[in-house]
Chains A and B, each alone.
Chain A
Amino acid sequence: MPYPEVMVAPMRAELTSAGVTELRSAADVDAFFADSAESTLVLINSVCGCAAGSARPAFKLSMDHARRPRRFATVFAGQDLEATSRMREVIGDVPPSSPSLALMKDGRLIHFVPRHMIEGRDAESIADDLKAAFDRVLPEEE
């Protein structure tokens, strides 16, 4: 059951205010990935304070890295159910977890950070892992 919107609005704003595209419906997801060639980092957001509370700032920290995806997007698990379900279809055959981070390129998942790699870690450490993944799997021109 979704939490009251007033409670999660700040968690949405934490990302959207940084320029992250929030996908609220299945149609939003489909439209966003109509051009699937561009590299995209997706955060499956959640209300869990001890995991998503680190994932969101980590996501934002990674956006400043020299080599980074072209696009940044998010869906809110437990809140925007259709969008999350559709996003998980796009990500592919990995167990659903939230929060989690998926790096997509050419419509394929090329790097995944499941929830258990977020739990109990600080934002800087998670961001460092993301940046290392960008350097490893994204082409230089990104």
Chain B
Amino acid sequence: MGTFHDTNDPLHGVTVVAVTGKAVHVGRCHERDDRTVVLVDADTHIEEENGKGADGRTNAEYLERVAAYGVWANIPRLTLEADRIESLIPLKDYHPQAEPAAPAAPVPAEEPACATGCDSAGVGAETLGEMVATLAPVQQETLQMTDAAQAEVKRLISAESRPGLGLRLGVSSGGCSGMRYELEFDEPKAGDDILSFDGFDVLMDGVASPVLRGVTLDFESGLNGRGFQFKNPHAKRTCSCGDSFMA
């Protein structure tokens, strides 16, 4: 009785655990392609250098509790880079004391397995590559960061010593080319699109997120370096300083 899902992705609508480095992310899988996995009603738990998160729990302890009671949804929409995800499994298949489950054969997307007639199907643990292979590629660009930019953001955020701080990227009217990029360190806000990198999150509001799709954030250091640089393939015009653009 009843279905409101419009996708053949067997993980669509299923609460999953995604692991990226020292971070675990839990949320309902909303959409995914070969570049990104989007979770909704999500939460992220990050082990710091002492092996525990801000709540004093290890990732395993956090997941044990989440597996028993569910997840407090602190992030409405969380976008993860697919190639950073080390494992992605339904939360119901997470067993705190068990060895990682062997990959199961993926459920063909063309054969809905849900007993209620909807498009979702129960699946076992499987690799991201196998799951992505069942999906038609979707051209959806996301923000990219060069290694240099990531390293510099990571360095700056660690200097702030404020857990949960992310890099907020924004756009606003102004600059000699019409729109101006903005960078600041900030905490997540309701409605943010969150892109997870190693050691920090990039935060974008509903205005900035679509504008920054396909943009690469770079960082140039040294005497001739110009700091953070946005490289926007969709910009029709940019100013020489790189601070503003026209989309």
Q: Chain A residues in contact with chain B, CB under 8 A?
A: 7, 10-11, 14, 47-54, 56, 94-97, 100, 112, 114-117, 119-123
Asked, given contacts A50-B3, A114-B70, whether A119 binds B116 with beta carbons under 8 Å apart, the answer is: no
The answer to whether A47 and B2 touch across the interface, beta carbons within 8 angstroms, is: yes
Of B3, B4, B14, which one neighbours A119 at CB under 8 angstroms? B14
Residues in A whose Cβ lies below 8 Å from that of B153: none
Q: Which 6 pairs show the lowest CB-CB distances between chains A and B?
A: A120-B122, A53-B116, A114-B70, A49-B3, A116-B15, A50-B120
B112–chain A nearest beta-carbon distance, Å: 9
Q: A94-B69, A95-B69, A95-B71 are in contact. Are A50 and B5 (CB under 8 A)?
A: yes
Knowing A119-B15, A120-B120 are in contact, say whether A53-B73 is a contact too (CB < 8 A).
no
Q: How many A-B residue pairs have CB under 8 A?
A: 86
Q: What residues on B are CB-neighbors of A119 within 8 Å?
A: 13-15, 90, 92, 120, 122
B54 to chain A, nearest CB (A): 17
Range for the number of chain B residues in contact with chain A: 20 to 34
Check: B233 CB closer than 8 A to any chain A CB: no
Within 8 A of A (CB), among B1-41: 1-5, 13-15
Contacts of A95 in B (CB 8 A): 69-73
Q: Which residues of chain B come closer than 8 Å to A54, judged between CB atoms?
A: 115-116
List B residues at the A interface (Cβ < 8 Å). 1-5, 13-15, 67-73, 90-92, 114-123
User: B92 to A56, Cβ gap below 8 A?
Assistant: no
Query: Given A10-B1, A50-B120, A56-B1, does the pair A112, B69 have CB atoms closer than 8 Å?
Result: yes
**Given A94-B69, A100-B70, A115-B70: A49 and B118 within 8 A (CB)?**
yes
Q: Looking at the assembled complex, report how far the CB atom of A9 sits from the nearest CB atom of chain B, in whole angstroms.
A: 11
Q: Is the CB of B15 within 8 A of A115?
A: yes
- CB B109 to nearest CB in A, in angstroms, measures 14
Q: Which of B67, B70, B123 contacts A97 (CB 8 A)?
A: B70
